[in-house]
Chain A
């Protein structure tokens, strides 16, 4: 599937026009909001996964921690995707040709599928019934995938 025409079109949209023309809007409503959502998203991932790894909040039931963290994860994910689309629209053709952008999108897709199709269904019930090694593997994979999304995302700015 040829995606370049889509990226070329994205730059011509109203979103792309606003991002290109008004640097202040791009920096505050795009980049800064994206970073604030990153804080909440990363925080929710770490709070839940470090609890599952028995590193923090060992005296709070992991079911409660993961449930509440997931609530804020969803909110942050919506904000981060919206701000990400806004930012990418302004520089869409450059993104198309940037390897780290594609690495980030791959990691993001894997992360979203992993959280909603695998992790959340697994952790919805009682955690006492689950194999502890599986729980720790899931927590490590979650931390790795979201770290990769964040790191490749930052590196987009340093390449291309």
Chain B
């Protein structure tokens, strides 16, 4: 039932003028996608340095809370740009993207990364004053940092794979994969 609702929503979006305008224009979709991909350098680049600091692999002699505080703002600016361009990319190709198993996995990974970030933030706030000048963060924060790197690597990979239709609904898919990818009976 959820898949049917999502397909209807995607088809409704597809029929809107804005969606057609973006997908059918010469440059607009390409610019939006280019911005989305290039902003990886800003958002994930800053995040990589924060996580690497927690793991002790970058800027070990600088206070970890300083690194996190200073790099947080450019990271969030990058994330805001990626979020908006991501929404526009979905809006331009809603029916294809909705039924992409890679897109769905990417969304799950993003949600898990979000909760991991909240958990990381809470632990950091509670304990930073006791260890922020140590080269490595305490174990639970290192786990969060490593998980963050892994989850975002997954987000990047699944994001890249959205363009490939190996497991799309018109292929001969096993039942579980067909349901997970949001395929509905025609």
Direct A–B contact present (CB less than 8 angstroms) = yes
Chain A residues whose C-beta falls within 8 Å of the C-beta of B45 in the assembled complex: 39-44, 46-47
Contact of A60 with B66 at beta-carbon distance under 8 Å, contacts A38-B40, A46-B42 already known: yes
Contact status A72-B58, CB under 8 Å: yes
Whether A13 is near chain B, meaning CB under 8 Å from some CB there, is: no
Residue of chain B at shortest CB distance from A147 = B38
Whether B34 is near chain A, meaning CB under 8 Å from some CB there, is: yes
The proximity string for A residues 9-47 relative to B, scoring 1 for CB distances below 8 Å and 0 otherwise, is 000000000000001100110011001101111111111
Q: Which stretch, A89-97, A103-111, A132-140, A151-159, touches the partner chain B?
A: A151-159
Contact status A158-B49, CB under 8 Å: no
Interface size bracket, A side: 35 or more
Contact status A154-B34, CB under 8 Å: yes
Residue of chain A at shortest CB distance from B75 = A43
Contact status B52-A38, CB under 8 Å: no
Contact status B42-A42, CB under 8 Å: yes
Q: Which stretch, B116-124, B156-164, B168-176, touches the partner chain A?
A: B156-164
| Cα–Cα distance between A22 and B81 once the two chains are bound (Å) | 33
Contact status A42-B41, CB under 8 Å: yes
Would you give the shortest CB distance from A124 to chain B, in whole angstroms? 17
Contact status A27-B164, CB under 8 Å: yes
Whether B166 is near chain A, meaning CB under 8 Å from some CB there, is: yes
Contact of A23 with B41 at beta-carbon distance under 8 Å, contacts A43-B48, A68-B58 already known: no
Chain B residues whose C-beta falls within 8 Å of the C-beta of A28 in the assembled complex: 157, 161
Residue of chain B at shortest CB distance from A50 = B74
Instruction: Known pairs A40-B45, A64-B61, A154-B38; list 14 more (Cβ under 8 Å).
Output: A28-B161, A31-B160, A39-B44, A39-B48, A39-B152, A39-B156, A42-B40, A43-B45, A43-B49, A47-B45, A57-B71, A60-B62, A64-B62, A69-B49
Interface residues of chain A, those whose CB is within 8 Å of chain B, are: 23-24, 27-28, 31-32, 35-36, 38-47, 50, 56-57, 59-60, 64-65, 68-69, 71-72, 147, 150-151, 154-155, 158
A-B contact pairs, 17 of them (CB 8 A): A32-B153, A35-B40, A35-B156, A38-B41, A39-B41, A40-B48, A42-B38, A43-B46, A43-B48, A47-B45, A47-B46, A50-B74, A59-B66, A71-B58, A150-B41, A154-B33, A154-B34
Closest 3 CB pairs of A and B: A43-B45, A42-B41, A39-B44
